[in-house]
Amino acid sequence: MNTHVTGAVSGLAIFAATAVFAEPQAEVLHYWTSGGEAKSVAVLQEEFAANGGTWTDMPVAGGGGDAAGTALRARVLAGNAPTAAQIKGPAIQEWYEEGVLADISAVAEANNWADVLPASIAGHMQCDGTWCAAPVNVHRVDWIWANADVLEANGIGMPTSWAEFNTAAEKLMAAGIIPLAHGGQAWQDATVFEAVALGILGPDGYHKAFVELDTDTLTSDEMVAVFDQMRVMRGFVDSNFSGRDWNLATAMVMNGEAAFQIMGDWAKGEFMAAGQVPGEDFLCASTPGDGFLYNVDSFAMFEVSGEEKQQGQALLAELVVGQKFQEVFNLNKGSIPARTDVSLDAFDSCAILSAKDMAASNEGGSLLPSYAHGMALRGAQSGAITDVVTAHFNSDMSSEDAVQQLAAAIANSL
Ligand code: GAL
């Protein structure tokens, strides 16, 4: 009995000693490698270090995170999961179902996440009632960015309809300016496509198509019109668009080579990192039509052994949802805080517009998850849609064929 008690006491003592002396460690897999993104992730690294943590960086270049997703899968399959990875949307639940995610409920509860996060965001971070991911921001996807001087010199305003966009683009082409800066990568095609789809189908139609996967909507005349508009836009990109990274497309708008880019507000992070000022050097507006497509970046922690790593996970989770961090990180990233209690006083006009539109669309039922950025569907379904979108954009496929292929691809993926 005595031995037993002694054993228990010394066990506790060892635990206390490790809890005090263990240095939190985190190996973090992410895909934030552009100028604005690197500045943002540096904020996190600094804060982690300031709190005694050791950060091992595992950046996997590739916008939209496809390459990072592949690298993550390889690591987990090899039994060597990183301590934390930037994953989001239904992929969080997919990983959870594989039994490889750590439960971060203790951190979430100690820091009242349920009270400071909007229910729509909190829902994405939960798995079977436990907390399985930590949100850092809300990116809006349905944005159009423009070079202010180029628009002014050509007597063009920010388009409020797709017809207006097309007219402006024709005018710019005639003036020798590339109307649309675009990078021909599947996820960028999907980004433009979902913004066009939201505008043409409207919020309800978007929901039916990309959340409910409703066949009638996927094959409707309106969806044909969406592909028609994509075909028109194919004519507004330059001949070197294939494979171009999104931040290089943003640079084309910055330097006046191109007038517009349709991209989420991580593009704003690039403009800001280059010292450009919204409303002066560049302009932002939501793409034509109603609604708001949200994209919430988050970190999930993987089951790992070792006190240091587990403490690193707890520290990382606590920091990323912290009030001050959410302000500083998002000022660099182009997004707005996920928390509702962060002051927007230091934010620019595009961020203020985003927050205002998000609140209004939440009220009006038009706050919608981005399919292109992995918030609406599981990987098999979103991948099936993107394959058709990109095949159509890069060939002479008719819009009618595209909608039929879309419905077939979805049916095969279910
Ligand atoms: C998005 C992600 C952003 C940004 C962008 C470009 O999917 O949410 O944080 O990294 O891709 O890579």
Q: Kindly calculate the radius of gyration of the chain based on its CA atoms and give it in whole angstroms.
A: 23
In the chain, where are the structural domains located? Answer: 3-139+295-352, 143-294+354-413
Q: What integer pLDDT is reported at residue 310 of this predicted model?
A: 97
The residue count for the chain: 414
> Measured in angstroms, how far is the CA atom of residue 357 from the centroid of ligand 1?
20
| pLDDT (tens digit per residue) in 158-167 | 999 999 999 9
Q: Give the helix ranges, DSSP H, for 239-378.
A: 246-254, 266-273, 307-320, 323-333, 349-364
Considering the chain, what percentage of its residues have pLDDT values greater than 70?
A: 95
Between CA 412 and CA 380 the distance in angstroms is: 9
> Measured in angstroms, how far is the CA atom of residue 175 from the centroid of ligand 1?
32
Shortest-distance atom of ligand 1 to CA 62: 12
Q: What is the mean pLDDT of residues 26-45?
A: 97
Nearest CA to ligand 1 atom 8: 297
Q: Where are the beta strands (DSSP E) in 35-86?
A: 54-59, 84-86
Q: 3-139+295-352 domain in CATH 2.60.40.1260?
A: no
Nearest CA to ligand 1 atom 12: 63
Shortest-distance atom of ligand 1 to CA 373: 7
| pLDDT (tens digit per residue) in 357-405 | 999 999 999 999 999 999 999 999 999 999 999 999 999 999 999 999 9
Shortest-distance atom of ligand 1 to CA 297: 8
Q: What integer pLDDT is reported at residue 22 of this predicted model?
A: 80
What share of residues in the chain are helix, strand, coil (percent, to 5)?
55, 15, 30
| pLDDT (tens digit per residue) in 204-261 | 999 999 999 999 999 999 999 999 999 999 999 999 999 999 999 999 999 999 999 9
Q: Which fold has domain 143-294+354-413?
A: D-Maltodextrin-Binding Protein; domain 2 (3.40.190)
> Measured in angstroms, how far is the CA atom of residue 266 from the centroid of ligand 1?
7
pLDDT at 18 over 90: no
Mutation test residue for ligand 1: of 86, 143, 266, 299, the one with most atoms within 8 Å of CB: 266
Mutation test residue for ligand 1: of 41, 121, 139, 185, the one with most atoms within 8 Å of CB: 139
3-state DSSP assignment of residue 278 = strand
CB neighbour burial string for 122-133, b if at least 16 within 10 angstroms, e if fewer: bebbbbeeebbb
At residue 2 the predicted structure's pLDDT band, cuts being 50, 70 and 90, is very low
> Measured in angstroms, how far is the CA atom of residue 23 from the centroid of ligand 1?
30
Between CA 268 and CA 151 the distance in angstroms is: 18
State if residue 36 touches ligand 1 by the CB under 6 angstroms criterion: no
Considering the chain, what percentage of its residues have pLDDT values greater than 90?
A: 94
Q: What integer pLDDT is reported at residue 17 of this predicted model?
A: 43
Helix (H) or strand (E) holding 151: helix 148-153
pLDDT at 342 over 50: yes
Q: What integer pLDDT is reported at residue 66 of this predicted model?
A: 95
List phi, psi (to 5°) of 96: -60, -45
Nearest CA to ligand 1 atom 7: 64
Shortest-distance atom of ligand 1 to CA 374: 7
> Measured in angstroms, how far is the CA atom of residue 336 from the centroid of ligand 1?
14
List, in sequence order, every residue forming a beta bridge with 391; answer none if it has no partner: none
**Pairing relation of β-strands 25-30 and 54-59?**
parallel
Average pLDDT, the chain: 95
- Packed helices 266-273 and 323-333: angle between N→C axes, nearest 10 degrees: 80
Matching CATH topology for 3-139+295-352 and 143-294+354-413?
Answer: yes
Contact in structure between 272 and 332 (CB atoms under 8 Å): yes
Q: Looking at the whole model, is its pTM more than 0.75?
A: yes
Between CA 179 and CA 169 the distance in angstroms is: 5
State if residue 288 touches ligand 1 by the CB under 6 angstroms criterion: no
| pLDDT (tens digit per residue) in 76-90 | 999 999 999 999 999
Q: What integer pLDDT is reported at residue 20 of this predicted model?
A: 53
| pLDDT (tens digit per residue) in 290-317 | 999 999 999 999 999 999 999 999 999 9
State if residue 270 touches ligand 1 by the CB under 6 angstroms criterion: no
Maximum separation of any 2 CA atoms in the chain, in Å: 91
